[in-house]
Amino acid sequence: MLAEQQSPAPVRPRPNPHDLTIVLARTHAGTVVLPQVPRKVPPPAAPSPVEDQAPVRRITVWTRSALFAVPATATFALGWKGIGQRQMWNDEYATQHAATLSWGELSHLLDHLDRVLTLYYVLMHFWVSLAGDSPTALRLPSVIAMAAAAGFTALVGQRLLDGYAGLIGGLIFALLPVTTRYAQEARPYAFAVAAAALSTLLLLRALDRPVWRLWLSYALCVGLTAGFHLIAVLVVAPHAVLTWFCYQKRDRDVRLWKSIGALALVLAIAMPLAYAGSGQAAAIEWIKADQAAIIQLPEQLFGSYPTAAALAVMGFLAVLVLPFARRRRVAAALLVWAILPPVFTYVTFPVLHAFLYRYLLFTLPAWALLAAGGIYGIDRLLSRRSWAQVLIAVSALPTLIMLTLPGQLMVRERLVPNEPDYPAAVKTIRAGLKPGDGIAFAGAVRPPRMGMAYEMRGEAARPVDVFLTQTAAQVGGYGARECPRAQACVGNRPRIWLVSTSYSSDPWSEMPAERADTLSRLFKVAESHHFQRLHVYLLVRKAAT
């Protein structure tokens, strides 16, 4: 009996929970052991199309490079053609002046003016020391920056829509007359456009992979955007829209909270710039936001009214058709990018005085992508074949070229409208210059001293600046300081070339009253030459009586 009790219990097979009929095991105490029945896993639901849920389209490095290179090359070619033919104008003379100062003189200038342009002036200081200060050399960095902006626009379009739409958007951006105009200008606007487009591309990458490395890159790029032009930091508005939409789509993914840290870094960069520039706001008080400024904004922003009308129609079409192509959120973000900055600068004009089309050039990538989005939406409604967009774009290309061609020709004219023709003045003075001649300047709106100094920088013989007492570098600005008593400065000088940007043809207008009285009493006008927005008078001393 003991042996029977010590004999091992028979081994029962373990119940299989998947069997329809199972034998319930019991413990030595008689308790039934219930098997663990697995929960039924519901079959996966059939994938349903969700708006704006298309995965990020992965493309090869070569495809991405080609997508960047095609519009960038087109923009560079259009910007390079005639880059040195158009005469420089007042703001470009300011760039050349700042870039050729010593570091101490540049610091002195920024203490008084253009502190918000510090980054651009520092970069141009290095560039001019390497490449020189000819018009071509001064403008080449802007051509490169605007070409990069076109490439970045195409890559943003590829991520928001697809590769074909990105390519079309980049090419539309390249064809805009205003793109060529500011690719050929030695000012920071092309850099601001490129930085705004690149920051948008980096944001889309960070939303795709929300890691700190990408968020930091994005924040630094937005900081560069603000550094090149403070108003361009408004590009964070469409970025916030894109981030919120992505947060909603991903079931409130907490990793996207890293965008708050990136925004904090952007504010840490932009706010000191805004504070630094607030003390120099008097420099832009000439900007207006009246009815004329509103009417001229489309022509100035896009290069011509026909181009503006075409982009407005295509943008409106995109807003209508993109929701049907499941890109409603893309349309909303691009619309905020394109519309919010001009509305914001207009509403805040009494405080900021920033309603100026040049300050809004960073919205051009959004307008180009909206136009491409219209083509993309039509294609999705009609054929659903991505490559069909190219056929639509190619068929519309001749119309677009015809609309933009007058603007392209206009921006290549030798003279900037309503700007003084300094080369003509220099040519006139060079032809009649004699030893001992002096030169004087008049004009309140466009003081001609800085422009004439640039255009005469290579002259072996130059007339003496009669009334100059302190140079612009010494003053810390763009205008020099002149002697208060004209007769003491004139001395016995027999001839003076008077260069005036006055609207009046009176040689004594727009100069201090004491100087006008002295010059009119001692000199007579022997010659007068009139050019666009500029007058040159040869003053010869009257015979003693």
Question: Could you tell me if 345 and 360 are in contact, meaning their C-beta atoms sit under 8 angstroms apart?
Answer: yes
Question: Could you tell me if 357 and 300 are in contact, meaning their C-beta atoms sit under 8 angstroms apart?
Answer: yes
Interhelix angle 305-321/291-302, nearest 10 degrees: 80
pLDDT at site 48: 36
Question: Could you tell me if 104 and 473 are in contact, meaning their C-beta atoms sit under 8 angstroms apart?
Answer: no
Question: Could you tell me if 349 and 284 are in contact, meaning their C-beta atoms sit under 8 angstroms apart?
Answer: no
By CB atoms closer than 10 A (0-12, 13-18, 19+), residue 461 is exposed
HSE-CB of 376 using CA atoms within 13 angstroms:
30
Question: Could you tell me if 121 and 186 are in contact, meaning their C-beta atoms sit under 8 angstroms apart?
Answer: no
pLDDT at site 345: 95
Strand partners, 470: 481
Question: Could you tell me if 187 and 142 are in contact, meaning their C-beta atoms sit under 8 angstroms apart?
Answer: yes
Distance CA 513, CA 527 (A): 22
pLDDT at site 277: 74
- Dihedral of the CA atoms 288, 293, 298, 299 (nearest 10)? -110
Sign (positive/negative) of CA torsion 305, 311, 313, 315?
negative
pLDDT at site 54: 46
HSE-CB of 542 using CA atoms within 13 angstroms:
10
Distance CA 177, CA 407 (A): 5
By CB atoms closer than 10 A (0-12, 13-18, 19+), residue 487 is middle
Q: What is the DSSP string of 293-330?
A: HHHHHHHHHHSSHHHHHHHHHHHHHHHHHGGGGT-HHH
Distance CA 137, CA 127 (A): 8
Close Cβ partners of 72 (under 8 Å, ≥ 6 residues apart): 147, 148, 150, 151, 170
**Cβ-based neighbour number of residue 107 at 10 Å:** 12
Distance CA 299, CA 459 (A): 38
Q: Over its length of 545 residues, how does the chain's per-residue pLDDT go in tens digits? A: 334 444 455 555 555 544 444 445 555 555 554 454 454 545 554 443 334 544 445 678 888 999 999 999 999 999 999 999 999 999 999 999 999 999 999 999 999 899 999 999 999 999 999 999 999 999 999 999 999 999 999 999 999 998 999 999 999 999 999 999 999 999 999 999 999 999 999 999 998 888 889 889 999 999 999 999 999 999 999 999 998 887 777 767 666 777 777 787 888 878 887 777 776 777 788 899 999 999 999 999 999 999 999 999 999 999 999 998 889 999 999 999 999 999 999 999 998 889 999 999 999 999 999 999 999 988 888 877 777 778 888 888 888 889 999 999 998 899 998 899 999 999 999 999 999 999 999 998 889 999 999 999 988 889 999 999 999 999 999 999 999 899 999 989 999 999 999 999 899 999 999 999 999 999 999 999 999 999 999 999 998 76
Q: What is the DSSP string of 462-499?
A: --EETTEEE-HHHHTSSS-EE-S-HHHHHTT--EEEEE
Question: Could you tell me if 463 and 437 are in contact, meaning their C-beta atoms sit under 8 angstroms apart?
Answer: yes
**Cβ-based neighbour number of residue 313 at 10 Å:** 12
Residue (of 491, 488, 504) closest to 442 by Cα position:
504
Q: What angle do CA 303, 189, 259 make, to 5 degrees?
A: 115
pLDDT at site 399: 87
Tokens of 435: 């030893």
HSE-CB of 8 using CA atoms within 13 angstroms:
3
Question: Could you tell me if 415 and 421 are in contact, meaning their C-beta atoms sit under 8 angstroms apart?
Answer: yes
Tokens of 429: 């003075």
Tokens of 99: 């870039």
pLDDT at site 173: 97
